[in-house]
């Protein structure tokens, strides 16, 4: 994880994302700040394309943002669709991790549009960390990795392991039991122990099985009760009708849980 991208709109959440990188990752990585100017074909009163004016204004605002918050980073301003520009920048600059603020999305907006962060999470080939607020003073002490520990048992969780080492936190594993099968806990415990062994997670990992009728609500409730500081969860990046029918727990976490969320891609 050498190159980290923070998409910025100069908001407080963008500041929080930068603070996350500079405070917790220190000088370990190369930080990139990208501001995306939305597409426009409108002319101003002088006959100039608004896009040109907005790009110039964006560059000035980015310089002021970096100076005001004393951030050392590679800066860029791009013009186009937000999601496309992020994807393009990640590919061109070989970005390893995206860190971004988000307000999430609820109701009809979540159903039909989703948040920018949700779309990035769905399509990104690199891990994404989303933040809804500044980190607490104690930083990240407890990282909760949520999985079914079955289909995901061979998922690449190197980003989670890297983050744990960087932050010095404890990694905890969680499986939500939504079934009434009496044998569930026995079988999932075996799978979780195998998961730990496959990924060389060591002996300090704590395993939890939490019975709750909803996976999303179960994760939120467990995290609150156990003082979790960050949730890590894989996403299959489903789109179209498959996403409409099955949804994504990872995207729901990005939209609804108040904690930082790290998502990483799982191959189907």
Read off the CATH number of the domain in which 208 is found: 3.40.50.620
Does residue 133 lie in a domain region? no
Q: Residue 98 has what pLDDT?
A: 95
Q: Residue 237 has what pLDDT?
A: 59
Same domain (yes/no): 183, 243: yes
Beta strand spans in 71-141 (E)? 74-79, 97-101, 128-131
Total structural domains within the chain: 2
Same domain (yes/no): 49, 151: no
Which stretches of the chain score pLDDT less than 70? 25-27, 40-51, 104-115, 151-154, 237-247, 267-268
Same domain (yes/no): 147, 50: no
Q: Which DSSP symbol is given to 43? A: B
Pull the structure tokens for residue 113.
């549009």
Domain that holds residue 16: 3-101
Same domain (yes/no): 163, 261: yes
**Contact of 229 with 259, CB cutoff 8 Å:** yes
Q: Residue 129 has what pLDDT?
A: 94
Last residue of a domain, one of 76, 101, 126: 101
Does residue 137 lie in a domain region? no
Last residue of a domain, one of 101, 128, 163: 101
Pull the structure tokens for residue 139.
């930083």
Same domain (yes/no): 185, 82: no
Same domain (yes/no): 166, 223: yes
Same domain (yes/no): 258, 147: yes
Same domain (yes/no): 76, 159: no
Same domain (yes/no): 12, 78: yes
Question: Please, what is the Cα angle at 132 between 167 and 83, to 5 degrees?
Answer: 100
DSSP notation for 53-96? HHHHHHHHHHHHHHHHTT---EEEEEES-HHHHHHHHHHHTT--
Looking up tokens 């307000």 gives 103
**Contact of 219 with 211, CB cutoff 8 Å:** no
Pull the structure tokens for residue 149.
């520990």
Helix and strand element counts for the chain (H, E): 10, 10
Round to whole Å and give the CA distance between 176 and 179.
9
Does residue 188 lie in a domain region? yes
Pull the structure tokens for residue 209.
């099985």
Same domain (yes/no): 61, 173: no
| SS3 state of residue 121 | helix
Q: Residue 4 has what pLDDT?
A: 95
pTM: 0.86
Round to whole Å and give the CA distance between 158 and 240.
28
Same domain (yes/no): 161, 252: yes
Does residue 22 lie in a domain region? yes
DSSP notation for 152-214? TTT---HHHHHHHHHHT-EEEEEEEE-S--TTHHHHHHHHHHHHHHHTT--S--EEEEEE-S-
Pull the structure tokens for residue 188.
């999932």
Round to whole Å and give the CA distance between 173 and 232.
9
| SS3 state of residue 114 | coil
Does residue 113 lie in a domain region? no
Q: Residue 103 has what pLDDT?
A: 74
């Amino acid at each position: 994880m050498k190159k980290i991208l923070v998409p910025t709109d100069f908001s407080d959440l963008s500041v929080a994302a930068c603070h996350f990188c500079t405070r917790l990752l220190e000088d370990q990585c190369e930080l990139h700040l990208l501001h995306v100017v939305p597409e426009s074909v409108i002319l101003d009163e002088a006959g100039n394309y608004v896009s040109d004016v907005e790009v110039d204004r964006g560059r000035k605002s980015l310089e002021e943002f970096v100076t005001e918050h004393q951030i050392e980073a590679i800066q860029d301003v791009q013009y186009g669709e937000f999601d496309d520009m992020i994807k393009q920048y990640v590919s061109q600059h070989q970005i390893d991790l995206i860190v971004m603020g988000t307000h999430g999305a609820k109701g009809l907006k979540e159903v039909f549009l989703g948040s920018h962060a949700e779309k990035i999470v769905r399509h990104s080939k690199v891990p994404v960390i989303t933040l809804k607020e500044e980190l607490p003073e104690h930083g990240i002490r407890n990282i909760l990795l949520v999985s079914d520990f079955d289909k995901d048992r061979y998922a690449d969780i190197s980003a989670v392991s890297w983050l744990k080492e960087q932050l010095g936190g404890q990694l905890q594993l969680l499986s939500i039991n939504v079934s009434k099968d009496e044998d569930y806990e026995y079988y999932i415990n075996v799978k979780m122990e195998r998961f730990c062994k496959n990924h060389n997670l060591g002996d300090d990992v704590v395993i939890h099985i939490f019975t709750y009728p909803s996976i999303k609500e179960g994760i939120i409730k467990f995290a609150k009760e156990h003082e979790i500081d960050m949730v890590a969860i894989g996403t299959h990046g489903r789109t179209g009708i498959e996403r409409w029918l099955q949804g994504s727990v990872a995207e729901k976490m990005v939209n609804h849980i108040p904690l930082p969320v790290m998502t990483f891609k799982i191959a189907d």
